[in-house]
Amino acid sequence: MIRSFQGHTPSLHPSSWVAPSADVLGKVSIGEESSIWFQCVLRGDVNTITIGKHVNIQDMTLVHVARDLYPVTIGDYVSIGHHATIHGCTLRDHSFVGMGAMIMDDVEIGEWSFVGAGSLVPPGKKIPPGVLIMGSPAKIIRDITDKDREIITRTANNYVKYKENYRSEGIGGTSLS
């Protein structure tokens, strides 16, 4: 469901796609070819959520903001795995957040960085570009590899195809509810 809230209407590029069971509310901007999957919640009620192009936010992910302090900014070609929590943080271009990871307020994930599934990135952490982080709290494990870069690129590209498959079946879209 795509809804206005307190006079703020989500802005969705016409090529973006939102699953019918996702909730996109308020001060949210979604870029071209991006997709928001089933049962996601993007709550732009007390600050802004800005999503770049070719981003996929997979099923059951929560994206929320911190009032007057921390918006959410998601760069281009970012993949966020199922059931992640993204709260008041910045994800730079080509970053990847694994399933079930929690990214907290005032965190910055650098370009081409990879957050392992189930990791907790605590408030205020600044993750440099091009590293794999894992754990609770998340720590740098190693530099990413060419294979990691391939996974990041392939996942972003695949989700553009997946959303087009759903759109062609008449499922989801970009219309206000």
The pLDDT tens digits for 93-148 are: 999 999 999 999 999 999 999 999 999 999 999 999 999 999 999 999 999 999 99
- Whether the ω angle into residue 137 lies within 30 degrees of 0, i.e. cis, is yes
Structure tokens given for 157: 């590209």
Answer yes or no: is pLDDT of 176 > 80: no
Structure tokens given for 98: 């694994």
Q: What is the dihedral of CA 116, 117, 120, 126, to 10 degrees?
A: 30
CA–CA separation, 67 vs 137, rounded Å?
24
Domains and their CATH numbers in the chain: 2-166 (2.160.10.10)
The pLDDT tens digits for 71-92 are: 999 999 999 999 999 999 999 9
What per-residue confidence (pLDDT) applies to 177? 59
The pLDDT tens digits for 126-139 are: 999 999 999 999 99
CA–CA separation, 15 vs 26, rounded Å?
19
